[in-house]
């Protein structure tokens, strides 16, 4: 991506350009590009040929790292745009969402009611953010009204749409932090990875090609996660679980999930402005990386021991960062505070 001179960065931000994530001279950018391309190819093949194994394995190995990495990025990028009152309100609403999800999973509250209330809380998250927006408030208002209608009329389908859309959120983060040619290149590559290739998978053509070569095993998995049909509901509505396109839609979403993990874990951290003022105290990049490895390994062990229980526990943590994206993007659209492009872009 495009570089900036030290003088220009200092003039624009009022502080010297941070050096923590500055790539070393030489072939590192080219090497990263090659690794990225190989990762995309591997994820494409795995998602088409082994959709259940890919879904369960990346969730077990990288679920914790992706949640923690996104929370760290969001705090560094948007933390100074959250005043104490708004931050406290959001934390309270997110805590209520966790309780509702837990109540639904444990059967303490009827699942339709729990899901409907959770989606309604999403609308409230947007509503309380509108007051902090300087412009484009109508976008957040419309989104809140749509969520409220979904909570009342089709809570499960609305939550499913949000789960699918969540995989595309790195595009929004990249559009917000980058500028100029760097933004255009990133969004062009992102459109390929997050939209074009998943749509290709959804057609079923790649699966048919791999099947002709005997290279598909849709039911294979490394974990005791149940059969494929039991897991399709993560990305396919209940009414379509036995349709001809359910497998391909699931595989397309699994691939988008892989791209989401790659972007959140490997790309967004490199765009953090180390001179930013997050609300929480985070370890430096090297130590944080070590924590991700340890936490990810512990989560993987939990999935191996009891996939069902660990999946529910992970869902409680994951919903926090997923619902937090709504007010964060509202603040970004509404210009809640001046935001500079990342000096590491």
> Does 52 score more than 50 pLDDT?
yes
b or e along 132-147 (b: 16 or more beta carbons within 10 Å of the residue's beta carbon)? bbeeebebbeebbeeb
- List the single range of 31-40, 76-85, 311-320 with lowest mean pLDDT: 31-40
Task: Please check whether residue 52 is in contact with residue 219, taking contact to mean a CB–CB distance below 8 angstroms.
Answer: yes
Share the mean pLDDT of the chain: 87
> Does 245 score more than 70 pLDDT?
yes
Kindly report, residue by residue over 211-236, the tens digit of the pLDDT: 999 999 999 999 998 899 999 999 99
d(CA 331, CA 319): 19
Task: Please check whether residue 331 is in contact with residue 109, taking contact to mean a CB–CB distance below 8 angstroms.
Answer: no
Task: Please check whether residue 343 is in contact with residue 9, taking contact to mean a CB–CB distance below 8 angstroms.
Answer: yes
pLDDT the model gives residue 343 = 59
d(CA 273, CA 21): 9
pLDDT tier at 17, thresholds 50, 70, 90? very low
pLDDT tier at 11, thresholds 50, 70, 90? very low
pLDDT the model gives residue 345 = 58
Tokens 């944080």 correspond to what residue? 288
Kindly report, residue by residue over 55-65, the tens digit of the pLDDT: 999 999 999 99
pLDDT the model gives residue 32 = 61
pLDDT the model gives residue 318 = 93
* Sequence-ordered alpha helix ranges (H) in the chain: 6-13, 28-49, 51-78, 84-106, 111-130, 137-153, 155-166, 169-177, 180-191, 197-202, 205-212, 228-232, 246-262, 285-305, 307-334
Calculate the alpha carbon distances from 270 to 38, 69, 90, 334 in Å.
20, 11, 26, 25
Kindly report, residue by residue over 142-180, the tens digit of the pLDDT: 999 999 999 999 999 999 999 999 999 999 999 999 999
Residues 68-93, mean pLDDT to the nearest whole number: 89
Chain Cα centroid distance, residue 330? 16
> Does 328 score more than 60 pLDDT?
yes
pLDDT the model gives residue 276 = 85
> Does 338 score more than 50 pLDDT?
no
d(CA 164, CA 193): 14
pLDDT the model gives residue 30 = 60
pLDDT the model gives residue 205 = 97
pLDDT the model gives residue 38 = 85
> Does 8 score more than 70 pLDDT?
no
Kindly state the percentage of the chain with pLDDT values over 90.
70
Task: Please check whether residue 10 is in contact with residue 340, taking contact to mean a CB–CB distance below 8 angstroms.
Answer: no
> Does 53 score more than 60 pLDDT?
yes
> Does 20 score more than 90 pLDDT?
no
Residue 108's φ and ψ, nearest 5 degrees, are -70, -30
> Does 274 score more than 90 pLDDT?
no
Higher per-residue confidence, 345 vs 320: 320
d(CA 330, CA 137): 8
pLDDT the model gives residue 36 = 73
Residues 22-49, mean pLDDT to the nearest whole number: 71
> Does 21 score more than 60 pLDDT?
no
Residues 301-307, mean pLDDT to the nearest whole number: 94
Structure pTM? 0.86
pLDDT the model gives residue 26 = 33
């Amino acid at each position: 991506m495009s570089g900036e001179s030290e003088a220009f960065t200092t003039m624009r931000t009022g502080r010297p350009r941070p050096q923590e994530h500055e790539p070393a001279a030489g072939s590192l950018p080219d090497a990263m590009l090659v690794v990225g391309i190989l990762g995309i190819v591997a994820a494409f093949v795995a998602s088409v040929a082994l959709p259940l194994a890919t879904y369960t394995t990346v969730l077990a190995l990288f679920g914790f790292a992706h949640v923690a990495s996104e929370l760290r990025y969001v705090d560094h990028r948007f933390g100074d745009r959250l005043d104490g009152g708004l931050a406290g309100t959001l934390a309270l609403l997110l805590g209520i969402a966790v309780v509702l999800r837990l109540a639904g999973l444990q059967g303490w509250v009827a699942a339709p009611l729990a899901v409907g209330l959770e989606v309604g809380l999403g609308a409230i998250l947007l509503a309380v953010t509108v007051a902090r927006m300087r412009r484009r408030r109508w976008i957040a208002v419309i989104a809140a009204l749509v969520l409220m209608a979904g909570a009342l009329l089709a809570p499960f389908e609305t939550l499913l749409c949000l789960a699918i859309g969540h995989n595309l959120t790195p595009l929004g983060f990249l559009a917000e932090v980058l500028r100029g040619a760097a933004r255009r290149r990133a969004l062009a590559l992102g459109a390929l990875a997050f939209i074009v290739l998943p749509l290709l998978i959804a057609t079923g053509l790649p699966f048919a090609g791999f099947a002709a070569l005997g290279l598909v095993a849709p039911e294979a998995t490394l974990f005791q996660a149940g059969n494929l049909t039991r897991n399709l509901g993560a990305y396919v509505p209940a009414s379509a679980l036995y349709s001809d396109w359910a497998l391909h839609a699931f595989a397309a979403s699994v691939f988008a999930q892989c791209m989401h993990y790659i972007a959140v874990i490997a790309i967004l951290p490199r765009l953090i402005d180390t001179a930013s003022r997050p609300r929480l105290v985070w370890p430096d990049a090297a130590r944080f990386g070590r924590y991700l490895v340890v936490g990810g390994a512990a989560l993987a062990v939990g999935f191996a021991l009891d996939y069902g229980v660990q999946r529910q526990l992970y869902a409680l943590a994951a919903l926090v960062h997923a619902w937090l994206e709504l007010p964060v993007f509202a603040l970004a659209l509404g210009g809640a505070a001046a935001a500079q492009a990342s000096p590491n872009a």
